[in-house]
Amino acid sequence: MGCFRANHTSIKAAVLIQRWYRRYMARLEIRRRYTWNIFQSIEYAGEQDQLQVSLFFSLRLLFHILCPADLISQLLDPVIDPWLDRETCYKTISIPESYTGPRISFPLSVSDTNALLRAFKEQQVLHARYVLQLLYETKKLLKQMPNVVHLSTSYTKEITICGDLHGRLDDLLLIFYKNGLPSAETPYIFNGDFVDRGKKSIEVVILLFAFLLLYPDHMHLNRGNHEDHIMNLRYGFTKEVMQKYKTHGREILQLFQDVFSLLPIATIIDAKILIVHGGVSDQTDLELLSSIERHKVKSALRFPRRSLEQLDIGQSHRLGKRLRSTDGSRPSSSRSIYESHRTPNSGASTSSSSSSSSSCSSLCSPRTPSCISPQTYPSSPSSPYNVLQVPFLDSLSSVPLPSPPQQELEWKQIVDILWSDPKTQEGCSPNTFRGGGCYFGPDVTRRLLHQHGLQLLIRSHECKQEGYEICHNGQVITIFSASNYYEEGSNRGAYIKLGKELIPRFYQYQVSRTTRRLTLTQRVCAAEGSALRALKEKLFAHRSELMTGFQQYDPNATGCVSVGEWAKVLASVLRLDLPWRTLRPHLVHLAPDGSVEYQSCFEDVGTGAHLPQVAPNLAKTLFRYRTDIEIIFNIIDKDHSGLISIEEFRHTWRLFSAHLGVAIDDRAIDELARSIDFNKDGSIDFTEFLEAFRVGNIKRAG
């Protein structure tokens, strides 16, 4: 009897322990998921900001607003330097005897690639002459390659497919260590996004190009959405090149623009597996994709000029004052164009998931439910059905929408391939969260694969916690090869190996000296802390709009609102798809009555630096739109020196004001320009100035 009681007690204890463990793991999983959502939401919001700025410049180029057209054309169009087209351009650059880095010769040999590997492991930098020569040779090779590369497994045992690397040299070296260096026996496909975000982008892309030159039949590179000179301005590659190559950095960047635009767009293995960087849409046409002159699309963010020029702005009519945002979202001028081409029978409304017959290629805003698109207006019977709403000065203008020219159709094909993401719902709709391309459902995947006799789509473009993900009933695989992408321990990297049977096998890894020593709880806590800091910085940057929203629910100025009202304001201002009620304990304090003390949102966050003397309203603008100003400044700063003239400084502010619809007093700008021109030489160190307005975590004493 005693034995039975003991066993019964043991069973109850085991059940309690299991119940506690399951609850603990469930809470840990919730934390892990919202941490991931924070990282991803902030990342995609940043990408969307870049798309909006690019669209803004394209429209200003068309309408000649605020700046001369030749100025904006100079800012966005790729720079053409005849010197770079000469085969001997790099030969005029001498290599000093004091240079201790790797020395290579062309055509490259295995000893040259080994020398590069050793040098980069030892933090050495390849001389600018070698970089230019390597890029020139890569450009010659890529010119001979098709848009869609066809491979066969009949000549090799296995093909290795890698996803985004984003300048993570350690990940690339680990892949080579685990899987072997590229060779005839170990062929590779790298599926885009080699650069940006990481600190070793130049080393990563040099190694990939070097192996491409060494094994052109066994090393294959697809273009990603970050192989784009406009994206490089924001996400670090441009800055990295200029810091490492101060003398010839501009020439190197110009050659990178050409090389990136020549990268193949897709790879097909055994006529069964399609590999692209982003995804597809209901309009993806592999035959059209094969015939595109891909080198003309220097940036997928730049809308084709000929398409814009066809819009008859001279005959447009005003539709009313542009709506100003009251909840912190951007005005109409920052929204997108060309969601779809509508016919009179399509009606005036669109659903979030358009039918499979509509075009979903777009550059659009996650802050609004839909993009600026051709619409009909019942109140105006005389208005044509096929019109485009274009922001023009302080109004929306209705512009007749022509049939899309060939150049636009080709551009849309590339945008969809580089920017799209899969979704679980059927259909195809604009990718409003990321800002470019589309969301494509299982039916879109199934139809495309069936149409071309394919069985699998492999893509990258999205960070996955395990390094890969399978969706659309096993017909779509996402592969991502940059481990610790958001934070130490945040995700694994992975690559795929395919043999003749075409069954994918996944290999995971994680580059870290510390992660293996951390428990699961410690890894989640570290990533959660980093994500919450980034979110608090975003709250501080939007402080003015948030306070306005909170005060609308707090007419008696008590400093408190309900939890529901607090969550509603954050959702409407930040436009981030986050579980605000779940995050509330980490972001604000509660009053004794259970209401939210909303000013506690901004505790422990600030600039951490001495601010220049600027008007209060201007300071708020700088905190809120610092990144947008920096993007425009980087475009204007053509030599990437960090210095711009007083007149360029004024142009920056005028463009910024027009882009976001923010009123800025000219006198305040002139006074600001004079105050930060410290040595009175007519040049402004704008980068240093913006650093004072970078939001960060404040470390408090005690």
User: Which residues are catalytic, by number?
Assistant: 226
Structure tokens at 182: 């590229």
Residue 102 neighbours by CB under 8 Å, 6+ apart? 112, 115, 116, 118, 119, 124, 126, 130
Cα–Cα dist 696/39, whole Å: 16
Q: Which residue is associated with the tokens 């590179």?
A: 221
Strands across the sheet containing 428-430: 421-422, 438-440, 428-430
Hey, which residues does 477 pair with through a beta bridge? Answer: 458, 470
Hey, which residues does 507 pair with through a beta bridge? Answer: 495
Structure tokens at 484: 């610790």
Cα–Cα dist 252/242, whole Å: 9
Strands across the sheet containing 317-321: 317-321, 395-400, 387-392
Hey, which residues does 458 pair with through a beta bridge? Answer: 275, 477
From the list 474, 478, 472, the residue with the least C-alpha distance to 458 is 478
Would you give the end-to-end CA distance of the chain in angstroms? 59
Hey, which residues does 221 pair with through a beta bridge? Answer: 190
Q: Which amino acid is at 666?
A: D
> How many residues are given for the chain?
702
Helices (H) and strands (E) in the chain, counts: 22, 24
Per DSSP, 283 falls in state: T
DSSP 456-513: EEEE--S--TTSEEEETTTTEEEEB--TTSSSTTS--EEEEEE-TT---EEEEE---S
How many CA atoms does the CB half-sphere of 97 hold within 13 Å? Answer: 0
Cα–Cα dist 172/180, whole Å: 11
Q: Could you give the 3-state DSSP secondary structure of residue 685?
A: strand
